[in-house]
Structure 1
């Protein structure tokens, strides 16, 4: 990525400058000022051109350079030659490194352009489910769920299909931002559900910041280790699925109530609840699949690299008992090729294959050279973090654009009856 080349070259240039100036005990203040001014100017030019999305992470190194230049200017104004030893040079380079770290972790990115003709807007809400106590607290408070909508801007009296998204473990409402905006620009209302205590962080309307529950984090990592008994994995993930599915039911019910009200307002006045699609990544995909089976208004479901844990009904005598009722609505699984191949080893004991093989309209598309986080926008927001959590050799941007195109095509067919459907066979797999 261009920004990483820039950061590396910038640091080496600063280190080289410090090294050259160390060769002289007294440095000409005008030369020092010229170097500092040139660095600041070059940094500001790079950070403001090239189509990058501006982020506040630029402010720290800019402040460092401004501080460096101000000191050089004072030296030049007072005509004094500052004597700086190796210790101060090292300290300055350490300060520079710390200021560059946020850009390294969250570099500016070029947003993925949308393909639709609609402009879009967004709105956020925090809804309280009075029927459920918050299981992560002992104070008797009710469960709160954060939601954010992306919706088309229109002056016509028209309604649009609804797509509800559920993020994965440690995800958050913005995890697939490019997919939300792509759908909204093409005439969909998208609702991203943020599950407090499962999300990396969740900020509610009252300003409360909720981070992921430490026990949830520990258990997620623990059951993904080698050698954990299947019965333990099954028992641990039961409350996760129950919580997610309850959140989705609550959100769908709440949206329906508002839409049926006398003055629903935007974005609810734009929603056709009878054309609803569900989608989720990882654990969110599992929740979407289970919820889609139980909601008559849901017309299509997409699972992004998620194991359909809610379709595992029991584990006893060393075997899973799957839901044998054919999945009632169109179901698309978008997986990594590795996930697909690994599942083949388990035969009918791999829940995704079991459910797809008996679904009335089940399809699977697997992506070559991709890994789990390639199905989110994290590789765009933070390539280093995405790499740590799992990205493949495939170009991240191309992978996301291809996935978003498949999502749009699928919903266009099943929610809008537009475009061409893929081969309508009981179980269909395709590699892209």
Structure 2
């Protein structure tokens, strides 16, 4: 893998990242969605006590039917992607960029038929983000023969479609007090954050490790939110199981194309990827699901940290250039399976999403670092693809993954392998 520099031409990078290949080894990409209601859980994030938790499940998948649409624009909304009364300037800018991105996707195309079923990659988006916040990676995975499923967490996402022509948007005022700390804490919120910051970027002794466990245990609101998101992931996996066996009752927006998925999902081969708040979500989910072969966390704090989570599954943690959070070091130490922990120089939090690509000129702003936007997208996606190939398909080796990590100048990493 050649090292990329900021001098690469934009057009060439766009082609490398998202162009549709005619290679026999790659598929065209279909995109669709459906929703389902979890009647075992009431919706506690709305004022209506009669509401139940309703989940959007959006899928990118291999197809051989070419019917590209120039109107594709996060099409589960079929409208402006943020259903707010007064969209911000950033929302308008995002909307304009999305209309120009050369994603050659085939809406509601039938799934490619194969002699063997397709492995599954499940995705959990960032808090106050969208189900498509890592779409370039989802497209690349689908081209390589994975079924990629993004789970919409309603009322914590910017916007998700719900069942029965309803939708849910993020309400800043309603969510203002969601992430409270425990009454048992001996610090307030600001002091807790400051203490965690003081433990970043250093080698922790046993006493400091215990303090990290304690501090994270006091993030009661975050832990409660993560439990909700993990339950969303389990419910979505249940719906994929029903899709596999052709059981469509209770699903909404199901067309004939979704019936082609019957018998074609390899539910024994599963991986999970999450961004920000979705990172610890998929770590916990993968730890709990036997068939999950590995998880990737894009720059998310482990608010649900405990001595037993995560520990038994291969795990890739990506971190910004900021001093390494103490919870990352604790997790790395307690992992029993293959573990990779890396930092990317010049990258900040939202550089792990597609936003660097969508806003290529908005560098050195909060949450977007100084690194070349196309380089950071290439680094994050290439390493993620290789990790998934190693642990889900066994289509690559651990040595190849390590060599890829070593090939990128901005990447600093450590790993431990269970040989």
Q: Please state which band the TM-score falls in when normalised by the shorter chain.
A: 0.5 to 0.7
CA distance in 1 between partners of 2:347 and 2:176 (Å)? 26
Which TM-score applies when normalising by structure 1? 0.64
Answer whether contact 2:299 2:320 (CA < 8 A) is retained: yes
Structure 2 match to 1:158: 116
Task: Determine which of 172, 179, 198 is the counterpart of 1:214.
Answer: 172
SS where residue 259 of structure 2 aligns?
coil
Q: How does 1:247-266 map to 2 (within 5 A)?
A: 247-261=232-246, 265-266=259-260
Could you say if the C-alpha distance between residues 246 and 374 of structure 1 is closer, same or farther in structure 2, counting changes exceeding 3 Å?
same
Structure 2 match to 1:414: 391
Task: Determine which of 143, 153, 157 is the counterpart of 2:53.
Answer: 143
Q: CA RMSD in A?
A: 3.3
Answer whether contact 1:379 1:387 (CA < 8 A) is retained: no
CA distance in 1 between partners of 2:59 and 2:324 (Å)? 36
Structure 2 match to 1:121: 30
Structure 2 match to 1:368: 345
Q: How does 1:299-318 map to 2 (within 5 A)?
A: 299-310=293-304, 312=305
Structure 2 match to 1:236: 221
Structure 1 match to 2:367: 390
Could you say if the C-alpha distance between residues 181 and 380 of structure 1 is closer, same or farther in structure 2, counting changes exceeding 3 Å?
same
Could you say if the C-alpha distance between residues 381 and 206 of structure 1 is closer, same or farther in structure 2, counting changes exceeding 3 Å?
farther
Matched, 1:289 2:198: no
Structure 2 match to 1:278: 272
Question: Rg: which structure is higher?
Answer: 1
SS where residue 170 of structure 1 aligns?
coil
CA distance in 2 between partners of 1:251 and 1:146 (Å)? 8
Answer whether contact 2:357 2:377 (CA < 8 A) is retained: no
Q: What is the CA-CA distance between 1:362 and the residue it aligns to?
A: 1.4
Could you say if the C-alpha distance between residues 355 and 259 of structure 1 is closer, same or farther in structure 2, counting changes exceeding 3 Å?
same
Structure 1 match to 2:105: none
User: Where in structure 1 are there 5+ consecutive unaligned residues?
Assistant: 1-49, 53-107, 313-321, 344-349
Structure 1 match to 2:125: 167
Answer whether contact 1:378 1:386 (CA < 8 A) is retained: no
Structure 1 match to 2:212: none
Answer whether contact 2:293 2:392 (CA < 8 A) is retained: yes
Answer whether contact 2:120 2:146 (CA < 8 A) is retained: yes
Would you say how many aligned residue pairs link Structure 1 and Structure 2? 308
Residue deviations 1:54-85 (CA, integer Å, cap 9, x gap)? xxxxxxxxxxxxxxxxxxxxxxxxxxxxxxxx
Task: Determine which of 130, 135, 138 is the counterpart of 2:39.
Answer: 130
CA distance in 2 between partners of 1:133 and 1:308 (Å)? 26
Could you say if the C-alpha distance between residues 326 and 396 of structure 1 is closer, same or farther in structure 2, counting changes exceeding 3 Å?
closer
Structure 2 match to 1:330: 314
Q: What is the CA-CA distance between 1:117 and the residue it aligns to?
A: 1.4
CA distance in 2 between partners of 1:386 and 1:124 (Å)? 33
Q: What is the CA-CA distance between 1:244 and the residue it aligns to?
A: 0.4
Answer whether contact 1:114 1:181 (CA < 8 A) is retained: no
Could you say if the C-alpha distance between residues 260 and 162 of structure 1 is closer, same or farther in structure 2, counting changes exceeding 3 Å?
same
Answer whether contact 2:294 2:313 (CA < 8 A) is retained: yes
Answer whether contact 1:151 1:267 (CA < 8 A) is retained: no
Residue deviations 1:304-348 (CA, integer Å, cap 9, x gap)? 1111222x2xxxxxxxxx32466111111111131xx342xxxxx
User: Where in structure 2 are there 5+ consecutive unaligned residues?
Assistant: 1-9, 64-111, 182-187, 194-214, 249-257, 414-419
Structure 2 match to 1:353: 329
Answer whether contact 1:361 1:424 (CA < 8 A) is retained: no
SS where residue 269 of structure 1 aligns?
coil
Answer whether contact 1:150 1:191 (CA < 8 A) is retained: yes
CA distance in 1 between partners of 2:158 and 2:339 (Å)? 31
Structure 2 match to 1:15: none
CA distance in 2 between partners of 1:326 and 1:51 (Å)? 40
Residue deviations 1:107-138 (CA, integer Å, cap 9, x gap)? x9997335661111011111110100011122
